[in-house]
Amino acid sequence: MTLPAAGADAPVQCSAKGCRQPATWTLHWSNPRIHTGTRRKTWLACDTHRDTLAAFLEARDFLRTVTPFPPPPENP
């Protein structure tokens, strides 16, 4: 299973349970006990849930970075 790419037909929703809002943030995280090296997991979050999801990950020391979703275009 992979995350839908930006621009895919399916709406990209927040990862919070029961939330149907479109995602506006990507939370990159890893669990050092499970994910070795530079492997990262990602959650998508709406504006409302960005803080709650980030706090959940931060409390476990899993959070790495938070970036806008979809990512801004690279320099053309």
Residues that bind Zn ion (CB under 5 A): 14, 16, 19, 21, 46, 49
Under 8 Å between Cβ of 12 and 6: yes
User: Which of residues 21 and 42 has its CB atom nearest to Zn ion in the complex?
Assistant: 21
Q: Give the DSSP H or E segment for 57.
A: helix 47-59
Smallest separation, CB 12 to Zn ion (Å): 12
Q: Which is nearer to Zn ion, 46 or 63 (CB)?
A: 46
Task: Name which of 21 and 28 has its Cβ closer to Zn ion.
Answer: 21
Residue 23 CB, nearest distance to Zn ion (Å)? 8
How far is the C-alpha of 14 from the C-alpha of 35, rounded, in Å?
23
Which contiguous run of DSSP H or E holds residue 41? strand 41-45
